[in-house]
């Protein structure tokens, strides 16, 4: 599936951007093995009964973890039918839809937490995605956006790190829409947290 990420502005087709076909499924397996979601789940700190949305769930590693927390409802959107098929197998209790960061299909203020890992740099429009995140997050709710980086990025993921000006665009975009924006360097991810 071809897309034009805001970070490059160029039409791109890659098994890691919007995974499709056999290469997409292989990329999904690699993501399941490589993308460690423990720190993200800990930082999110889901409380009993909370409604959580993941944007760009890929093969479902994080949604699977989230269904093992005391969350009341775990939902996700991702534009890739291949990723949805994989994620549904890994997280059968989650409500996983096809959609995008800019158009999740969920209602206003429907979630207590919204999280996105290794997806933000792939969105065609950062601003539309952040607008939508704000719309679906309830007042006082939490947002977490993470991308490859951190204190010890694995060698294979180093080439995906974003330049500082693009990380600043994510941070500034969050500041225009949310409160308490904080940047943290996790082991393999740079993460921004914020509160609506």
Ligand X SMILES: C[S@@+](CC[C@H](N)C(=O)[O-])C[C@H]1O[C@@H](n2cnc3c(N)ncnc32)[C@H](O)[C@@H]1O
Give me the least distance between CB of 18 and ligand X, in Å please: 4
Give me the least distance between CB of 83 and ligand X, in Å please: 4
CB nearer to ligand X: pick between 35 and 193 = 35
CB nearer to ligand X: pick between 49 and 92 = 92
- Residue from 71, 117, 170, 181 binding ligand X (CB under 6 A): 117
Q: Strand, helix or coil at 103?
A: strand
Measured distance CA(178)–CA(52) in Å, rounded: 17
- Residue from 7, 100, 137, 190 binding ligand X (CB under 6 A): 100
Measured distance CA(111)–CA(94) in Å, rounded: 14
Stretch that binds ligand X, among 6-14, 53-61, 106-114, 150-158 (CB under 6 A): 53-61
Residues 6+ positions from 66 with CB-CB distance below 8 Å: 41, 44, 46, 52, 54, 74, 91, 94
| Nearest residue (beta carbon) to ligand X | 58
- Residue from 53, 61, 111, 113 binding ligand X (CB under 6 A): 61
Identify residues 13-52 at the interface with ligand X (CB under 6 A): 16-19, 31, 35
Measured distance CA(130)–CA(127) in Å, rounded: 5
Helix (H) or strand (E) holding 143: strand 137-148
Ramachandran quadrant class, 143 (left: phi over 0; alpha: psi -120 to 50; beta: rest): beta
Give me the least distance between CB of 156 and ligand X, in Å please: 12
CB 99 within 8 A of CB 22: no
Measured distance CA(82)–CA(193) in Å, rounded: 29
Residue 122 makes contact with ligand X by CB under 6 A: yes
Give me the least distance between CB of 153 and ligand X, in Å please: 14
- Residue from 52, 101, 130, 145 binding ligand X (CB under 6 A): 101
Binding-site ranges for ligand X (CB under 6 A): 3, 16-19, 31, 35, 55-58, 61, 78-80, 83, 100-101, 117-119, 122-124
């Amino acid at each position: 599936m071809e897309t034009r990420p805001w970070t490059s502005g160029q039409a791109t087709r890659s098994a890691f951007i919007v995974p499709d076909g056999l290469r997409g499924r292989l990329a999904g397996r690699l993501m399941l093995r490589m993308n460690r979601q423990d720190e993200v789940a800990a930082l999110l700190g889901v409380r009993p009964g909370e409604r959580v949305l993941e944007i760009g769930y890929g093969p479902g590693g994080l949604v699977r973890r989230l269904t093992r927390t005391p969350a009341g409802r775990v939902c996700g959107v991702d534009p890739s039918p291949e990723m949805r098929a994989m994620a549904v197998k890994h997280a059968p209790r989650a409500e996983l839809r096809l959609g995008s960061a800019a158009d999740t299909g969920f209602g206003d203020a429907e979630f207590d937490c919204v999280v996105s890992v290794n997806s933000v740099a792939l969105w065609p429009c950062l601003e539309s995605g952040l607008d939508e995140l704000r719309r679906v997050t309830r007042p006082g709710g939490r947002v977490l956006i993470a991308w490859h980086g951190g204190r010890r990025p694995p060698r294979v993921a180093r080439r995906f790190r974003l330049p500082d000006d693009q990380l600043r665009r994510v941070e500034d975009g969050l500041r225009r829409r949310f409160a308490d924006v904080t940047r943290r360097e996790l082991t393999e991810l740079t993460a921004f947290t914020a509160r609506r």
